[in-house]
Chain A
Amino acid sequence: MKIDRTDLLRGTLDLLILQALKLEPRHGLGVARRVEQLTHGAFRVTPGSLFPALHRLEQKGWLKSEWGASDTNRKAKYYQLTAVGRRQLKTESEKWGRISLAIGRALRPAEDA
């Protein structure tokens, strides 16, 4: 599934990016790869949606960035969660859990029919 820019999915992308950074700082490509990995390849994040999202989250104060060296010793910009970002991840994922549960419940009878 490719992520496009509808509002619902933008929220999803933000959530996925936050989740991807939960454990350690990553650079852009790292984030993209981690999202693919987390969703078992269901989400493929293109640079066209990745970078605007990263910058938006950074400007909101949920992420912070610094320049570091990649595994191949290349200079890259690394993003990591801020305290606010971590809190946001928690509330967002709880919310998402509730929504997905509700939608899941709502759709089940339709499937039965």
Chain B
Amino acid sequence: MIARLRHALRNVLCRSEVERELADEIDAHVELLVEEKIARGVPAAEAYRTTQLEVGRLVALKEDVRDVRVGAWFDVFRQDVRFGLRWMRRSPLVTLALIATLAIVIGSAVTVFSITDAWLFRPLAFPNAGRLVVAFAATSTHPDEPAVWMPYRSYVAFKESARSFTSVSAAAFQPATWRTASGAKSIVGMRVTPEFFSTLGTPPMRGRVLDASDAATGSGAVVLSYGLWQRGLGGEDVLGHRVTLNDAPCTVVGIMPADFDVRLLDQKEGAAFWTVLPTGERGYDRGGIGPVAIVGRLKDGIGIAAAQDEIMTVMRQNESAYARNFNQPDATGATFVATLNSLQADNTRTVRSTLLTVLAATVCLLLIGSINVGVLLLGRGLERRGEVALRQALGAGRGRLVRQFVTESLVLSLCGGVAGVGLAVVATRLFLAWKPLGTLPGNAVQIDGRSLAVSAVLLVVTTLVAGLVPAVRMSAATPGGDLRIGERGSVATPAVQAQRAMLVAQVAVSTVLLVCTALLAKTFVQLRTERLGFEPNAMTVATLVLPSRTYGSSAARNTFFEQFARELRALPGVTAVAAATTPPLVGGPPVPVNVTAVDEMSAPRISAQDVTSDFFSTLRVPLVAGRVFDGRDVSTAMPAVVLNEKAATQLFGNPSSAVGQRVRLDDDPWRQVVGVVGNVKTTFFNTLAWRTEPMVYRPAPQAFARLAPMATSFTLWVHIRSVRPLSMAQLTAAAMSVSPTAAVTDVERAREQVSAATRQPTFRMSLLLWFCGISLLLAAIGVYGLVTQAVNERLKEIAVRIALGAERRDLVLGFIRGAVVSGAIGLTIGLGLTMTLARMLESLLYGARAGDAMSLTLAAAILLVVIALAAWLPAMRATRVDAMEVLRA
């Protein structure tokens, strides 16, 4: 073994020395033979002659010796590479195009893989993260889409009787204001039960985590995230120091490491801090219904489905012990069900379909690209038919020729792969800077060993696709036939057929990509052109967070807002200001709405929000019947409510009969319906569609009070109609002039929020549009190459036909017809594929179905036109030749 290794190294590294020795040895052999003969008395000249006959051709002999050497394949490989490089240098433009094609397709696949890997495949940075799950409640109509937090009492029940978990904890969002010298900032943290940190399993970087004693004493201990510690406190030693959250003093007891990134319900970034959920607060006692997410660690061997079944049973049993419970269906028949997801699945709900769609598209692109390179290599192979045939005639084995082609394709793929990984490094950086998905994964996005392994696999795929087919088809050709073809016209050799087959495959994959893109584009157009029911242009929306400690009552909040609105109206360009308890495009928390004197548990649950009196005029929501809120709806007046058309129709049959009726929201006092307004579109979590929901609006002076139990701050969305968009600085200054504790957190134009709501479909569509463009370009190059080559081969035939009076137009049409027929076959196959694949896209579509006739027709038309054009160019050029010149040549 060692001997072989030593020889192999020597053969490869000291090649010239080994060769020299071989030459010497054989020379010596010849001389010895001659001497032997002379010694026997043969004349010298005769001795030389017979010896030469005996030994045979020295070149062949040496070649035979070389073939038995260890690592002989490497020599052949080196030769093939050198030969391949020579071909590449001979047509540098084609070579560059091939390498660029491979670089783009490999680069985009590696980029998309690295991003998808960080989100979906690489486990989260917790010990044994695959066992971490999070439970929410969903409605039975959308059982997979978490719609509601779990009631706290379910956490108690799971902890006591669910056997699927080694540990169960609960957590809830905690938006907070963070006081700094330059004004208050808003951050989002979590309130967690004491087992939260032990469930996740990550130890703190400094200090300690929260435990049961914190819960019992309500010590005001806070654990900071690495990010908040660095950004908010400059990374100084702050253990034991006091910080102010929501105007309440807290003591820093620990700091979590940088990779401790906890998110719930698709949060865009990890929580900034954690405080303990004090036991026994209102809503957070045994029977409490305070909203929480339940984070658990599954026992080994228990699957998510089994655990979900168990918690559903436990929840159902537990709820039945309470008079008002989550088991009863509402008017639409929907009940609440527990849903359990892995923590990673929960964190990636919004981006998963986008990532997978784009990943699938890059795979299509990769196939198209490598097939295209194969078509071009085969085309170049055809030019080399003479060479191949000659080598075959001289005795080159078929395996040797296949190896030659695959080596050349490997050299190309390697160049393309290296360039592609380079592109991917740049592209992932751009992705991080640009954040097209609006959020970044908890795991780092980087080109690491996994990405490199994937690129190696991709390289093998492109090499095989681009090299093997041409190799097999070329070497299958008979040498005699191909040597003759060099002189005469042309026939459809297996190579040409192979090339056509590859074109068909390329068109088929392009069709899939094109149809999917057309569907997504239609979705995009539908989403963007939908009438939203309000006027998002020339409107700024600011998020305002009021700490409950200072602004604990409805009156205080109303007073603050009135002062704040007065400040804003003084700004130039501002024409109207209003506030609501939900952001634009969001329905608000659903509440049961009763219309009869008897409280029904099955009352319809309708989204409710509190709005100031100018809300409808500011947003330009039309009044349908009755009146909107005005100065009459003060806190002491008769409680009022405004319904939207959908709610009015659902509750009272039609809008006009709703005015004057009474409704009861939850366990509030009765309210009178004073008016009905137009519907405003909303979005629902991750379902991609504008929805028209029933909605009830309460006037701010009679509301602005409803808070989840224990919420420590109150958030308002301030809608400002202004010709010019307002800046964060202007709004912060206005807020500061009223109160130093109110924090303006986000300032955005309403139009941008509409865009943000359609961000994922927009991203998907625009990326796929690019891919489509590239695939069309590649298809065009493929067809162009194929037709150019066919034309060149048949130049004499064309010349003869022209000389005999054939119409140029007919000749051109003939070439185009050939290409279009191949294209049409590919198209048919592609459409068949799309029919099955596009069904997976259904959930990403809005206003378009998988079998959308317009999208299919559009895709088909575009492809056929591109193919026809790409065929027309070379065909046109060929028929312009001077027939006599070609024939004379």
Contact = CB atoms under 8 A, between A and B. Distances in A.
Interface of A: 27-29, 46-48, 51-53, 55-56, 58-61, 70, 72, 74-77, 84
A47 B28 contact: no
Contact of B26 (A47, A59, A61): A47
Contact of B32 (A29, A58, A61): A29
A48 B54 CA distance: 10
Interface in B9-38: 21, 24-26, 28-29, 31-33, 35-36
9 contacts: A27-B28, A52-B64, A53-B68, A55-B65, A55-B68, A61-B4, A70-B32, A76-B32, A77-B21
Most buried by A among B4, B28, B67: B28
Given A59-B3, A60-B4, A61-B3, A51 B26 contact: yes
5 smallest CB-CB distances across A and B, nearest first, come from A61-B3, A56-B68, A76-B28, A59-B7, A77-B25
Contacts of A58: 7
Interface stretch (B55-63, B78-86, B450-458): B55-63
Nearest to B55: A47
Contact of B54 (A47, A55, A70): A47
Given A48-B56, A59-B68, A72-B35, A28 B3 contact: no
Contacts, number: 69
A84 B26 CA distance: 26
A1 to B, nearest CB: 17
A29 B4 contact: no
Given A27-B28, A28-B29, A61-B4, 4 more contacts: A29-B36, A55-B68, A75-B24, A77-B25
A48 to B, nearest CB: 6
A52 B61 CA distance: 8
B877 interface: no
Contact of B31 (A53, A60, A74): A74
B29 A48 contact: no
A51 B35 contact: no
B147 interface: no
Most buried by B among A53, A55, A75: A55
Interface residues of B, number: 26
Contacts of A27: 28-29, 32
A84 B31 CA distance: 31
A55 B29 CA distance: 14
Contacts of A47: 26, 29, 54-56, 61
B70 interface: yes
Interface in B52-100: 54-56, 60-61, 64-65, 67-70
Contacts of B31: 74
A112 B256 CA distance: 95
Nearest to B30: A47
Contacts of B33: 29
Nearest to A76: B28
Contacts of B70: 59
B64 A51 contact: yes
Nearest to B70: A59
A28 B35 CA distance: 14
A46 B2 CA distance: 30
B62 to A, nearest CB: 8
A76 B28 CA distance: 6
A70 B31 CA distance: 11
B28 A48 contact: no
A84 B65 CA distance: 22
A72 B69 CA distance: 30
Contacts of A28: 25, 28-29, 32
A76 B366 CA distance: 57
Nearest to B39: A72
A48 B4 contact: no
A93 B65 CA distance: 25
Contacts of A29: 29, 32-33, 36
A35 B591 CA distance: 104
Contact of A60 (B3, B26, B32): B3
Nearest to A53: B68
Contact of B61 (A48, A56, A75): A48
Contacts of B67: 52
Contacts of B54: 46-47
Contacts of A51: 25-26, 29, 61, 64-65
B819 to A, nearest CB: 50
Contacts of B60: 48
A52 B72 CA distance: 12
B851 to A, nearest CB: 62
A105 B455 CA distance: 61
A58 B25 CA distance: 14
Given A51-B25, A77-B21, A77-B24, A59 B4 contact: yes
Nearest to A70: B32
Nearest to B10: A59
Contacts of B36: 29
Given A47-B56, A60-B3, A75-B24, A52 B32 contact: no
Contacts of A48: 56, 60-61, 64
A74 B64 contact: no
Nearest to B31: A74
A56 B11 CA distance: 13
A39 B61 CA distance: 24
B411 to A, nearest CB: 28
Contacts of A52: 64-65, 67-68
Nearest to A29: B32
Nearest to A33: B36
Contacts of B35: 72, 74
B165 to A, nearest CB: 62
B14 to A, nearest CB: 14
A86 to B, nearest CB: 14
Most buried by A among B2, B55, B65: B65
A28 B21 CA distance: 13
A75 B4 contact: no
Nearest to B18: A55
Nearest to A51: B65
A54 B56 CA distance: 18
Most buried by A among B7, B21, B64: B64
Contact of A59 (B32, B55, B56, B69): B69
A29 B27 CA distance: 12
Most buried by A among B60, B67, B68: B68
Contacts of A75: 24, 28
A75 B69 CA distance: 23
A52 B60 CA distance: 11
A46 B64 CA distance: 13
A52 B65 CA distance: 4
Nearest to A64: B3
A2 to B, nearest CB: 12
Nearest to B21: A77
Nearest to A49: B64
Contacts of B7: 58-59
A25 B243 CA distance: 90
B443 to A, nearest CB: 49
A48 B21 CA distance: 17
Contacts of B65: 51-52, 55
Interface in B201-239: none
Contacts of B26: 47, 51
Nearest to A75: B28
A51 B61 CA distance: 8
A52 B54 CA distance: 16
B10 to A, nearest CB: 10
A46 B7 CA distance: 25
B8 to A, nearest CB: 8
A74 B68 CA distance: 27
A78 to B, nearest CB: 10
A105 B96 CA distance: 69
Contacts of B69: 55, 59
A61 B31 CA distance: 27
